Structures are given as C-alpha cells and as structure tokens.
C-alpha cells in the first residue's frame, strides 16, 4: 500500500484538525460530556481507517451513512455547546477589533470602584451578591429577564438592591454602559463539574453567564462572605484589596484613563 508524499499542506491540515479537536475537547470537558467526546473520536478514527486506509467498501458505505445522519444528531445534542463556542469566537473577534479603534470598556474605573466598595461592605455582612459587568456584548436577552432600573451606579443603591428585605435581592444585577440597567435577572447555570462543592447556584450562575458571553461576574458568598470573580471559563476567589485590579484586567481597561 503506497501513500502520496507528505507536504506542507498536509501538515497545516493536520494542525488545523488538531486545534479544532482540542477546542471541542475543552468545550465538552466543562459540560461533563468528555466521555462522549472520546467515543465520537474513536468512531471517527475507525471510519477513517475503514474508508480511506483499508478501503472496505461495504463497511465504509455503512459508516458513511452513519456519519451523515450523526452530524445532524450531534448538532441537536450539542446545540448549547455550539452556541457557547460561537459566542466565545465572537467575543474574541470583538476584542481584536477594539485594538484598532479608540475607546474604553463599558465599565469605567469610577463605576468599578463603586462596585468594589459595595462588595466590600456586603462581604463583611455576608450578604449574597451577584453582579454582572457587561463588556463588549450587550446582554440584552439576560437584561430582559429582570426588573428594569436604568440608574447611575452607586454603592448605596447596590447595597439596597441586595438587601434581604427587598424584592430584587434574588438574581443578578447587570451593569452596562456605566449604569445599573436591570436587577433580579435570571442567568444560565454552569454545568462545570469541576467546581468546588461549596459553590452554590449564585456561583454557578456567575460562571454560566461568563461561559456564554464576554461579561465579568462578581459573586459574594452568603455563607462565607468570600468574594469571587468569574470570567470566561474560570471563577476565582479574590481578596477585597485585589478586586479592583482583577476587574480592570478582566475588562481590559487601561488604568491610565
């Protein structure tokens, strides 16, 4: 059995496939479907060997039919993961486009300082908090799930919203364009199985919105008073005196502005 010569084009082709497979693996790893990924990969490798290496026509024809129907089934099964992938791709393209035009992110440093002060106070009181800071994506679909506010960002207003005696303390507070736009918002829940067990729904919701958009979420634990920041695929506990710097970095904000 002879094979055609290996060229630079073949190397690029292999690297592209490897990159795509690695991206799919990372995406499915956090959704708990990594075993399904390995099963699909084994099936595809078997199909390649049968159809293109050993050239078994009858078995290859059967595998071809399964592959054709399976592609549609995979789109249905992994529609949530596919949507997340394209959201992240669009987010990265948005960040690249910002490099070629002036401007600052939605949350200015003064607004972030108000958020940090409010979180510091509520952390001492062990008040549960979930604040979402919009970045390049406007989060319109999530904003509509809550109560419309459209107010200036202030420490006292944030603390009042999350007070246990107010009807808006459950759910997320979303800040966009330097304004409090909506409270008691419903966010998607992360299915990441690697999260610590002491993280509750508030933490999972904070990570969930950041898995699907380029937003940054700040979470204050009601049980411990610890502050966490979620961004992209990670959620990390931070000290109060580090919170502002972490938010500035996550939002790609130029501190000199």
For the ranges 71-75, 129-133, 143-147, the lowest mean pLDDT is seen at 71-75
From the number of C-beta atoms within 10 Å of its C-beta (0-12, 13-18, 19+), residue 15 rates as exposed
* Residue-averaged pLDDT of the chain: 83
User: Would you state the pLDDT for residue 175?
Assistant: 96
Gap between the Cα atoms of 139 and 214, Å rounded? 9
Predicted TM-score (pTM) above 0.75: no
Q: Quick count: other Cβ atoms within 10 Å of Cβ 141? A: 11
DSSP label at residue 147: E
- Is residue 105 scored above 50 in pLDDT? no
- In the structure, what pLDDT confidence band is assigned to residue 104 with cuts at 50, 70 and 90? very low
Give 88's strand partners: none
44-98 residue pLDDT tens: 888 888 887 887 888 878 877 777 777 777 777 666 666 666 666 665 565 555 5
DSSP one-letter string for 87-113: HHHHHHHHHHHHTTS----SS-HHHHH
- Is residue 106 scored above 50 in pLDDT? no
Length of the chain: 257
């Amino acid at each position: 059995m002879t094979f055609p010569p290996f060229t630079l084009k073949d190397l690029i082709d292999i690297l592209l496939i490897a990159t795509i497979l690695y991206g799919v693996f990372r995406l499915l790893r956090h959704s708990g479907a990594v075993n399904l990924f390995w099963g699909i990969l084994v099936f595809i490798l078997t199909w390649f060997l049968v159809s293109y290496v050993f050239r078994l026509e009858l078995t290859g024809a059967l595998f071809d039919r399964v592959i054709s129907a399976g592609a549609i089934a995979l789109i249905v099964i992994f529609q949530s993961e596919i949507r997340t992938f394209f959201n992240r791709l669009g987010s990265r393209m948005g960040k690249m486009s910002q490099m070629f035009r002036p401007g600052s992110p939605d949350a200015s440093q003064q607004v972030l300082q108000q958020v940090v002060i409010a979180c510091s106070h509520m952390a001492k009181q062990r008040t549960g908090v979930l604040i979402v800071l919009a970045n390049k994506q406007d989060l319109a679909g999530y904003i509509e799930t809550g109560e419309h506010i459209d107010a200036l960002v202030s420490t006292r207003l944030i603390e009042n919203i999350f007070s246990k005696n107010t009807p808006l303390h459950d759910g997320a507070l979303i800040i966009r364009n330097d304004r409090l736009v909506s409270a008691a918002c419903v966010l998607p829940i992360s299915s990441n199985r690697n999260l610590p067990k002491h993280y509750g729904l508030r933490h999972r919701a904070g990570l969930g919105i950041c898995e699907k958009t380029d937003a940054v979420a700040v979470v204050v634990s009601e049980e411990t008073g610890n502050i966490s920041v979620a961004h992209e695929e990670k959620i990390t506990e931070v000290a109060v005196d580090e919170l502002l710097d972490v938010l500035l970095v996550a939002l790609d904000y130029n501190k000199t502005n």
